[in-house]
């Protein structure tokens, strides 16, 4: 079965410039990685789950914030791991420093028999589009391209 995730691309306008909200994966594997390691808040969903409902749930679980507003579907993108990512853009704002994530268990160090809890995301931040292009996973750059196109071509499309 194909792995699928869904998530939200939260955006805002600051001083006439577009900014997007991205999260950094938690856990020891990602601890020292930065460029190309950030993502939209997202998570996997099952075959009987509505992808937009899953995106909203994952956003709240990973950040502690509830996203509200008008959700605009973006074209799904495929990541290097072959996972298909469905995403919706929504305008909003939040205090990235106040983001609080749920946790997941992981045996760490590997083969130690010790299971520890790690946050799904260890930090969140707002980025300009230029910064976001450097920070986000390569497979999600298409989401940034599309939100720029949607917002520049028809400012009434997304509110």
Whether 46 maps to a domain, the answer reads: yes
Domain count, the chain: 1
Whether 158 maps to a domain, the answer reads: no
Whether 22 maps to a domain, the answer reads: yes
Whether 65 maps to a domain, the answer reads: yes
pTM of the full structure: 0.92
Would you give per-residue pLDDT tens digits along the chain (159 residues)? 789 999 999 999 999 899 999 999 999 999 999 999 999 999 999 999 999 999 999 999 999 999 999 999 999 999 988 999 999 999 999 999 999 999 999 999 999 999 999 999 999 999 999 999 999 999 999 999 999 999 887 554 444
The DSSP H or E segment spanning 103 is strand 103-107
Whether 80 maps to a domain, the answer reads: yes
User: For residue 41, what are its two tokens?
Assistant: 């808040």
Whether 144 maps to a domain, the answer reads: yes
Whether 28 maps to a domain, the answer reads: yes
Whether 159 maps to a domain, the answer reads: no
Q: Which domain holds residue 27?
A: 4-153
CATH of the domain at 148: 3.90.79.10
81 to 40, 52, 78, 106, 140: CA distances (angstroms): 16, 22, 8, 20, 12
Q: In the prediction, which pLDDT does 155 show? A: 56
């Amino acid at each position: 079965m194909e792995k699928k995730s869904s998530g939200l691309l939260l955006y805002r306008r600051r001083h006439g410039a577009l900014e997007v909200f991205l999260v950094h994966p938690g856990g020891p594997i990602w601890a020292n990685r930065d460029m190309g390691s950030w993502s939209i808040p997202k998570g996997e969903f099952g075959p009987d789950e509505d992808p937009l409902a899953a995106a909203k749930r994952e956003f709240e679980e990973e950040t502690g914030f509830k996203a509200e507003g008008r959700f605009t579907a973006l074209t799904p993108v495929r990541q290097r791991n072959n996972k298909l990512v469905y995403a919706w853009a929504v305008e909003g704002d939040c205090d990235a420093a106040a983001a609080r994530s749920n946790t997941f268990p992981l045996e760490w160090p590997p083969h130690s028999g010790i299971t520890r809890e790690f946050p799904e995301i260890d930090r969140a931040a707002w980025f300009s589009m230029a910064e976001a292009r450097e920070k986000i996973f390569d497979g999600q750059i298409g989401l940034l391209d599309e939100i720029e196109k949607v917002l520049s071509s028809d400012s009434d499309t997304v509110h």
